[in-house]
Structure 1
Amino acid sequence: MPIYKIDGTQMIKLQHTTFSTEGIDEARHLQKIIINSIETVEKDLFVISSEFGDWEDSKRRIDILCLDKNANLVVVELKRTEDGGHMELQAIRYAAMVANMTFEKAVKAFQNHIEKSRLQVDDPQEAILSFLEWDEVNEEGFANDVRIILVSADFSKEITTSVLWLIERDIDIKCIRIRPQKDGSNLYFDIQQLIPLPEATDYQVKLREKATEQRQSRREGSRDYSKFDVTINGKTEFNLNKRQTMHLVISECVKSGINPIDLMRVTGERKWIWVDKICSTKQEFESEMVKSAKKYDPIRWFNQDGELLVFDGKTYAFSNQQGKEAFNLATNIFSKYPHLQGEITKSEY
């Protein structure tokens, strides 16, 4: 919406202009204007640095670095363009880079800012403590979160979509639009918080909490915690998880004389690894695996002492990565080898 001024009994629309047209660049002009009027971006912010870049192997600089009343760091990224460029990606990178800042480093940054900007501050640490309303330094309560504020003449759809997605995932980020307006030789700034809308903040918090709960529910709902009762040759083992089920079935197959090579026709070869030697311990088996140069991730196999399967001069390990297919796989094995007198049912408890 345009801004109007009252002229007698009528309203006259102010002229829209751009930062570029008015000769306002980010570093020399806009940054200083925002720093000197930081409350126009958000109330209760304390500027501790501008062009902050106290890290090795990087020339990147944070436009404005602040603290809020909760002792969180606030990264303010500025752009004078109409689309915001890739400022959200830059701001996320900066937030990650300052996430571990200590109170001591914040005081040092503020000291440098005081000297560079020639501010009249006698004691940087005391000034920060006073703003935070702390009686003494509290490192544990300092910088527990990093918030992001994007300030631009406008924002592209890509940025707004990214910001909304980040908000949904509990990243504290907001978009402030700042549009220059002109009335003759007078220049004005129309400053609006676009995302999240101030009047919708509580609603969006509830939506975010709901979305988080739904994602958690979907993750939990997709997991299969089924337990099984397995009977082989008249002996039943109760309430086994999928890993226990498949290890029991496979080991009993091999004990009964079934060659693992034949079992691979049912299970698939990818569920097996083996070495051409009899190994009695995990250490011995892994040593042979190293010699064989085969791809091997120890945590993915039944390879502990007592779990390895020896047959016809070779030592085999079966995969412990068992999904929802465990029930059907055990059923197919029992069907192919009826002499096992095998049966699998879902546990009732």
Structure 2
Amino acid sequence: MALYEMSSEHTLSTVPLTSFASMGVYERTHLQKALRGLISAITPGVETMVLAEEFGDWVGANRRIDLLCLDKDAKLVVVELKREDGASMELQAIRYAAMISAMRFEQAVEAHRKYLSSIGSTEDPEQAIRDFLELDDGEPAALDDKVRIVLAAASFGTELSTTVLWLNKQGLDLRCVQMRPHLFDGRLLLDVQQVIPLPEAAQYQVAIREKEAQQAVVRSSERNMTKYHLTIGDRSYSNLAGRRVIYEVIAEALSQGVTMAAISGALAGKGDSAFLSAEGRLNEEQLLERTGNSGSGYFSQDSMLLHAGGRTLAVSKRWGDQLMDSISSVVDLLPSPAISIEVSSPTGEPEVVNFEGYEIKQDQSTTITVSKDGITCSPTKPVLRSLAAKLGIGIVNGAGKEMNTRQLGARVIESVKARVE
């Protein structure tokens, strides 16, 4: 479809479609560099991090993966780019996916180490991956054995599109993202849209079924499976990792007027390192700039930042064997405790409830999926908001911010279970 500009006189004029070639834009030098800096542009709805660029660490390799990425479910993601027509790129990407399907976690760490070095970053590669996957300290990690594929090009022919649709029906996960360049007022604009699977077409949402069949990221019997059920007043959170428990407890303490200094003083052995902190009401970028910290190891996302005493705070994710003592120390500071923390007993079976025709599922790794009539709803959060409203439950966490998908899904499940009981 064409791109139009609407004038102040409410008339439409076409924004000319151009080509990357005519604009002197090359795949590796320009497109690849731009997309590695904002990988979310071609991975809508799936939080993704770049692991490596031009990856080809396998025996006999003479071709390289443009961008090797990782998603929140610990699935590797092969990203292949073409600046013009994407003919036959799906076959190349499938070969790459097969070659890396046996990659181990430590190999991913080493690939990320090389990538960080190439872009001049001193960030710890293993910690960066663990933080992205939200793994607790000391928790063993493994990659999922399924690999996703993202094909990004200016156009896709009928042959490729038909092939991708058929492969998705067979259980593979291939997505086609179209990048159409337009020239406007001397500037190059990209119209980026996922065209396969079409978000509006339920029959082509096979790629989203990964959520239904997702496997636990870590299968080792030694994995620390400890999750907690947390109740603060009339709010309940199910299957929280330990570091999320202490985050919610600290958020509650601050909301009750306990000072950051008091909390730091109660955390023996942790002290000021429990927080990243700077004066003013800041966003993530401003906080990291003020503190000179990369944010690794802290809940530094905008939605997780806390504000108290005229300062912005990011809570640490790293507590080790001090976790339970630290939680108890903060709870002891609360004027009105009303907090209950219980260890969840993982059974290996997902928790499933049904409400208003929807099936809401929380698997062993606490990932939430919502489906209706056998079709997975994506994105999930708007549906959860609607269900929460019908259940008459709030969607705000202890920090006074909207819950993330896992928190909101857990709250909806708890509320539906309470109705049944």
TM range (shorter): 0.5 to 0.7
State yes or no: 1:6 paired with 2:9: no
CA RMSD of aligned residues (A): 2.2
Select 2:94's aligned residue among 92, 108, 119. Answer: 92
Per residue, is there more helix in 1 or in 2? 1
Question: 2:97–2:149: 8 Å Cα contact kept in structure 1?
Answer: yes
State yes or no: 1:55 paired with 2:55: no
1:19-39 deviation per Cα after TM superposition (whole angstroms, max 9, x unaligned)? 000101111111011111111
What is the Cα deviation at residue 206 of structure 1? 11
1:204-230 deviation per Cα after TM superposition (whole angstroms, max 9, x unaligned)? 439999xxxxxxxxxxxxxxxxxxxxx
- Judging changes above 3 Å, is the alpha-carbon distance between structure 1 residues 203 and 52 closer, same or farther for their aligned structure 2 residues? closer
Question: 1:71–1:142: 8 Å Cα contact kept in structure 2?
Answer: yes
Question: Could you state the TM-score of these two structures normalised by the residue count of structure 2?
Answer: 0.47
Select 1:71's aligned residue among 53, 71, 74. Answer: 74
Question: 1:102–1:143: 8 Å Cα contact kept in structure 2?
Answer: no
Cross-structure match for 1:152: 153
Question: 1:69–1:131: 8 Å Cα contact kept in structure 2?
Answer: yes
Cross-structure match for 2:191: 190
1:321-345 deviation per Cα after TM superposition (whole angstroms, max 9, x unaligned)? xxxxxxxxxxxxxxxxxxxxxxxxx
Question: What is the rounded CA distance, in whole Å, between the counterparts of 1:207 and 1:133 in structure 2?
Answer: 21
Q: Secondary structure at the match of 2:155?
A: coil
Misfit runs of 4+, over 4 Å: 136-141, 206-209
Question: 1:65–1:76: 8 Å Cα contact kept in structure 2?
Answer: yes
User: How many pairs were matched up?
Assistant: 207
Cross-structure match for 2:129: 128
Letter in 1 for 2:14: K
Question: 1:168–1:208: 8 Å Cα contact kept in structure 2?
Answer: no
Question: 1:167–1:208: 8 Å Cα contact kept in structure 2?
Answer: no
Question: Could you state the TM-score of these two structures normalised by the residue count of structure 1?
Answer: 0.56
Cross-structure match for 2:246: none
Q: Secondary structure at the match of 1:32?
A: helix
Cross-structure match for 2:105: 103
Give the unaligned 5+ runs of structure 2. 211-421
Letter in 2 for 1:148: I
What is the Cα deviation at residue 157 of structure 1? 1.1
Question: 1:102–1:139: 8 Å Cα contact kept in structure 2?
Answer: no
Question: What is the rounded CA distance, in whole Å, between the counterparts of 2:95 and 2:139 in structure 1?
Answer: 26
Using the TM superposition, name which of 193-202 and 142-151 deviates more: 193-202
What is the Cα deviation at residue 143 of structure 1? 2.7
- Judging changes above 3 Å, is the alpha-carbon distance between structure 1 residues 22 and 62 closer, same or farther for their aligned structure 2 residues? same
Question: 2:196–2:204: 8 Å Cα contact kept in structure 1?
Answer: no
Question: 2:182–2:191: 8 Å Cα contact kept in structure 1?
Answer: yes
Question: What is the rounded CA distance, in whole Å, between the counterparts of 1:175 and 1:73 in structure 2?
Answer: 17
Letter in 2 for 1:54: D
Give the unaligned 5+ runs of structure 1. 210-349
